Every structure is written in structure tokens, then in C-alpha cells.
Structure 1
Amino acid sequence: MRALLWLHRWTGGIVGILMAIIGLSGTVLLWEDAWIMLPGADEPAMNDPVALGFVIERALEAGPDLSRITFAGEEIGLHQAIYADGGGAYLALDGTVVERWDGMWERPELWLFDLHHYLFMGDAGKIVTGVLGFLLLGFSITGLILWWRTRKTFTFRLWPVRFTKSAIVRHHRDLGVVASPLLIVAAFTGAVMVFPAVAAWLLSPLAGEKAESPLPDDLAAVDARTDWRRVMTSAQAIYPGAEARRIMLLGEPGAPIAIRYRQSFEWTPNGRSYVWVAPDTAEVVAVEDPATSDTASAITEKFYPIHAAKVGGLVWRTAMTFAGLALVLLGLLASWSFWFILKTRG
């Protein structure tokens, strides 16, 4: 038990600040829809393929090399366009540009997302956040084991009664045990999204055979002749009752246009129902329907909406907010007490 305590304390002291950063940025992102207060942000979204085709045309006019558009939905009534040069725009439902930016740093939701997922370090940072997820899983489990010996002294408090070694340790222990079930969920779902091979291994008994058909690579390129209204209408016919969520334009030369839909049974906000359309003829060339997928894929699809509180309504979002703020306190006080109080007082 002494070795477990030593490992828990030293590892927490070293990565506590990073845990607090992940917790705080994630908590702010949970309420993203409440603080993006641009004109039209609270408008009810529409799902008319002709109107969406018009929006795509306006987005192409707003900037070169349109990469993708995430269409307005339940959370925000604005379409978000992202361009290959790193810029972007929010468009109202009628296609009017209400906000334009040239880089990530001009929009807080963009740099907060990058901080939470990549720590501003690109793919290397993503690996770090995945490792932090597994470490948090370990902290939560070992913390429960270590707490059990002192369970009779449990007192829940949001803030230490004093900033002394014993008071901070007791606060850390008791707050951690309350937040640990939620932190385990957040840590596991976050880590396996970064390392999908782990999820694939865990869920392998539930996985079925998946035959992937190659997409055509000899189609005409997207150009001024592409009829976006026909493209969206053709794609919508595959999933008549589904919600169009995202269109992706910049693929390999000769590749089709990819459009994501969200069917009623899907938890993921942007869905995982794909339609690929030829740019010149608006003909559907491929489809991927999660309704025909195996149990493992159905479970994997739930990781992100659970992690980001995109399901469960206000109750789950509030619970994950508590978990995020608890992680901030646990991480900051663990590092501060380790490097200052414990160092100076033994």
C-alpha cells in the first residue's frame, strides 16, 4: 500500500497541472453553445437540402479552398465553415456570413478545442492527452483503494478548510472519491478515442466482419459546375429522415464529396451515417449506414457523446461539469502541495 501511495502521489504531482488544464478546458467546452453569442446562434436549425446547398455556395464565395461545413444543429443555429488556410466563418441559416476569422486564435471555441485535444502540440499533444486519460483512470482507481482505509473520516467539501498538508490531503482524498465514478467515465472515453486500437481490442468479441468497399478515385473535381443543391438533395434521399450534419470537400484528387448524416438512433452529434456523391453528376457512389454495423461499432459511437455530455440533457452536463471542476482542483492542489508544502515540510 505504501508503494501505491508513493506512485499515486509522485505521478499526480508531476502531471497535476496538465490534468487541471484538461479539466478546465473541457468544462468550458461543455457549455460552448451558451457563450457563442453571435447573431442567429439561437435560431432553430433547418434540414432542407436545397437551402443547405445554397449555404454551401455562400461559403465558397466567402473564401477559397473550403474544407468542410458543419451544419447548424440543436446546439447552435449557425453553420460553421472551415477553410484549408486555417480560417473559417459562421453563416446564418440564410447563408449570410455573420463572423469571419483568419486563424484559430480569433475564436475561443477553436483554440480551447485545440488545447483540450492537442495541448497546442498537434499529433504529439494528442498522444499526451490520451496518456493523461489513462493516468486519470489509474488515479481514480488507486485513489479509491487508498481512500478505503480512511473511509470513516470522510467529509465532503468543495474547498480545503486550511491550506496545510493534512487539510489538502484530506480534501483531495474525499473530493476525489466523490468525483471518481465520473472521472473514470471521462478518462476512459477520452483515452480510447485517442487510442482506438485499445477500444477495438476490448470490444473485439462483439465485432463482426466488416467489408470496406474502396471509394472511386477517378471522379471529376469539384468546380464551378458542381450543383450543390442537387448534391444535397441526392444525398438526403439516402437518409430521408436523417439530419445533414457535415460536408467535407477537400479529399484526394478524383475523390467524391463526403456528407455525414445523423439518424435518430445515433448519439454522436454529427452522426456516422455517410453518403459519398460525385461532384459532377450528383450521383451517390457509396454509402455507410451504421444501422447495419456490429455491436462493437455501436458502442464505440457512444464514447464521444458521453465524454462531451452531448446526451443526457442538463443532468449529465451538470455532472460532467462537476467532474471537470473537481479535476481542476485535484490537479492544481496535488501539484501545489507536492512541489511546495510536501517539499518544504517533508
Structure 2
Amino acid sequence: MKLIDTLHRWTGGLIGLLLALLGLTGALLVHKNAWTLAPHAGDPRVEDVRQLAQVTQRIMADPTARPLSISYASDDFGLLKLLFEGGGGAYADQRGAVVTRWGSQWERPELWLFDFHHHLFSGEAGDWAIGIAGLCGLFFVVTGLILWWRTRRTFEWRLWPARMSRPAIVRHHRDLGVIVAPLLLLSLVTGAVQVFRPMAALLFGPGAPAQIEKALAPPPPPRDAKLAAQLDWAGMVMAAKARFPDAELRSLTLPRKNSGLITIRMRRPQEWLPNGRTTLWFAADSGALVAARDAAALPMAVQGYNLLYPLHTAKVGGLAFKLVMTLSGLAMTLLGTLTVWTFWFRRSAMAVRKPPVRPAMT
């Protein structure tokens, strides 16, 4: 038990601040669409596919000003998001008129907060660091429950320590950790499995990682096709809607890594994932439909994996679940911050405190 306590304290002291920051940014990002400020952000989503096709054609027509991707408006955010080479981007209304532009993500708090929470501003290396932090968080929850069991008779329901002394903070830390343990497990498991996909085997069975890898990959082989200067972008949108009439148009992306394929993602009614996994691929040189994948026909393990992101980001369950995941993030922030403070600073302050002077014996 002493070894578990030592590992719990030292790991928390070393990585608690990172978990606190991830919890805080996660809580903010749950409500991102509500606090992102831009004209027409509150417009209702346009469902007329002909209008969306015409807008797409206008945006993509000029090769010199063509974005790398378009993210279409959703039910809670009424703007198109355009991303360009070099990190720039723009928001446009659903008629295609640009309402605001940015030259880098640092000009938009919703963008750099997202980058920090998902990548630590470090791309793939940041993904690994966040995944490791998530695994450490799981270790904290499990070992914290073990350590709390010894002191369960002193449990008190407190949102804040009774005093800012180290014993009071440690007691509050253990009791609050027990209260929010289910929420922390949900946040940490759904986040860690998305980073370390092999962990999906723990949730969905031994063959799940291979199934997920195959299901989310573009159709083979890569096409030796360069993006044409002029394409029937509206025709692609109409073809996608004709193939999946009940699906909502979510994004259009230019070819990546010389795949030679333009990607359109759609969201069918039964999908929880905000951008859906119903996907169509079009040839970059001709605009012809190459392949289509229906999310409803994916293996059950893959469909289960696709539920992790909407659960992690509270994209399902309405305001009630948003508040639940907000509480999870804020609790992680409080637990991580107080852990670091008591481990590195409060302990030091107590160590240097001089002992009281006793009167001399006569």
C-alpha cells in the first residue's frame, strides 16, 4: 500500500498540471460552439442540398483561392469553416459570403484551444504525450480508489477543502476523487483509446484495432491523379446526397498524401459522431465517384469505436450531458492543480517552517 501511495503522489506531482490543463480546456471546448463569436454563427442549418451544392461550387471554383477543406454548418453552429494552406482559414455564412478570416490559429481561441487539448501544439508527438497523460489519469483513478478505501469512514461531501492545509487538501482530494471517479473514467478512457487505438481491444475485443484500421482507411490503392483546375463540385455534392438521401453533409476535403481522392463525409441519422463516418471518395482529376462507405454497415466494433469521440466531447445527450462532461473537466482541473500545489509548494513551505521555541527550563 505504501508503494501505491508513493507512486500515486509522485506521478500526480509530475503530471498533475498537464491533466489540470487538459481538464480545463476540455470543459471549455464542450461549449465551443456556444462561445465562438462570429456573425451568423447562430443561423439555422440549411438543409437544401441544391443551395449547398451551389455554394460549394462557388467556393471551390477558383484554384488560386480554393480551401483545403470545407466543414459545413451544424445544428448548433451556423457557419461554414474553410481551412487553407499555411494555417489560415475563414468562416463563411451558408450562402458562401466570408464573415471573418484568420492568418493563423492564434487569432481564434477556439482553434488554438482545440490544438492544445488534442495535440499540445506538437502534432503527433503531442498526441502521444496526451495519451500517456490519459493513461496516468486512469492510474490515478484506480489507485486513488484503493487508497481512499482505508479512510472511507472519514468521507465528507465537499467541493472545496475545509482548510488550505496539506492534510485537509489531501482528504478533500481523495473524497472528491471518489465522487467524480465515474466521470473521470469516462473522459480518460474515451480519450486514451482514441490516441492509442490498440487499446480498443480492451473495449471491443481482440480483433477490434485491425477492424478499425481497415474501416477508416481510404479505398486502396492510391490513385495517380492530380487535382484538376476545374471540377463539378456541385455534382459531387449532389451525387453524395443521392447515394445517401437521409444523410447530412458534413465536410469536403481535398486529396491528402497524394491519395488522388476528394473526400466527402456525411452523417446519417443513427450516427452520433458529429461529422459522421459515412464517406464518399471522388477522383481528383475527373470528379467521378470512386467508392462509398455506409457507416451503418461497418462492423459493430468500429461502430462502437465511433461512439467514443461524441461521448468524450459531449456531442450527444444535449445540455445535460454537456454539463456532466464540464463537471468532469473542472474536477480534473481542481484535483490536478491542488495535487501539484501540495506536492511541490505546500510541502516545501511546511518543511522550512521553523519549530516553535520552547521556554528554557529553570
Q: CA deviation at 1:50?
A: 2.6
2:160 equivalent to 1:159: yes
SS of corresponding position for 2:112: helix
Residue number in structure 2 paired with 1:43: 43
2:258 equivalent to 1:257: no
Answer yes or no: is the 8 Å Cα contact 1:54–1:229 preserved in 2.
yes
2:220 equivalent to 1:214: yes
Q: CA deviation at 1:53?
A: 2.6
Letter in 2 for 1:9: R
Residue number in structure 2 paired with 1:5: 5
Question: Which structure: larger Rg?
Answer: 2
2:303 equivalent to 1:302: no
| Compared CA separation, residues 215 and 99, structure 1 to 2 (3 A) | farther
Residue number in structure 1 paired with 2:358: none
2:28 equivalent to 1:28: yes
Answer yes or no: is the 8 Å Cα contact 1:53–1:229 preserved in 2.
yes
Answer yes or no: is the 8 Å Cα contact 1:63–1:83 preserved in 2.
no
Q: Which runs of 5+ in 1 are unaligned?
A: none
Residue number in structure 1 paired with 2:91: 90
Q: Residue deviations 1:86-140, cap 9 Å, x none?
A: 1001010111101101101000110000110111222111110000111111111
CA distance in 2, matches of 1:196, 1:345: 44
Q: CA deviation at 1:145?
A: 1.2
CA distance in 2, matches of 1:162, 1:243: 53
2:334 equivalent to 1:333: no
Between stretches 200-209 and 311-320, larger displacement belongs to 200-209
SS of corresponding position for 2:244: coil
Q: Percent identity?
A: 45
Tell me how many residue pairs correspond in the alignment.
Answer: 345
2:71 equivalent to 1:70: yes
SS of corresponding position for 1:260: strand
Residue number in structure 1 paired with 2:318: 313
Residue number in structure 2 paired with 1:107: 108
CA distance in 2, matches of 1:288, 1:297: 13
Letter in 1 for 2:264: I
CA distance in 2, matches of 1:252, 1:163: 54
Normalization by structure 2: what TM-score?
A: 0.90
RMSD, aligned CA:
2.0
Residue of structure 2 aligned with 1:273, choices 278, 295, 302: 278
Q: Which runs of 5+ in 2 are unaligned?
A: 352-362
Answer yes or no: is the 8 Å Cα contact 1:66–1:250 preserved in 2.
no
Normalization by structure 1: what TM-score?
A: 0.94
CA distance in 2, matches of 1:315, 1:128: 30
| Compared CA separation, residues 329 and 230, structure 1 to 2 (3 A) | same
Residue number in structure 2 paired with 1:141: 142
Residue number in structure 2 paired with 1:176: 177
2:250 equivalent to 1:236: no
CA distance in 2, matches of 1:220, 1:335: 52
Residue number in structure 1 paired with 2:14: 14
CA distance in 2, matches of 1:125, 1:65: 29
Q: CA deviation at 1:200?
A: 4.1
Q: CA deviation at 1:329?
A: 0.6
| Compared CA separation, residues 169 and 26, structure 1 to 2 (3 A) | same
Residue of structure 2 aligned with 1:289, choices 276, 288, 294: 294
Residue number in structure 2 paired with 1:125: 126
CA distance in 2, matches of 1:165, 1:125: 32
Answer yes or no: is the 8 Å Cα contact 2:57–2:232 preserved in 1.
no
| Compared CA separation, residues 333 and 220, structure 1 to 2 (3 A) | closer
CA distance in 1, matches of 2:94, 2:41: 10
CA distance in 2, matches of 1:327, 1:148: 20
Q: CA deviation at 1:281?
A: 4.5
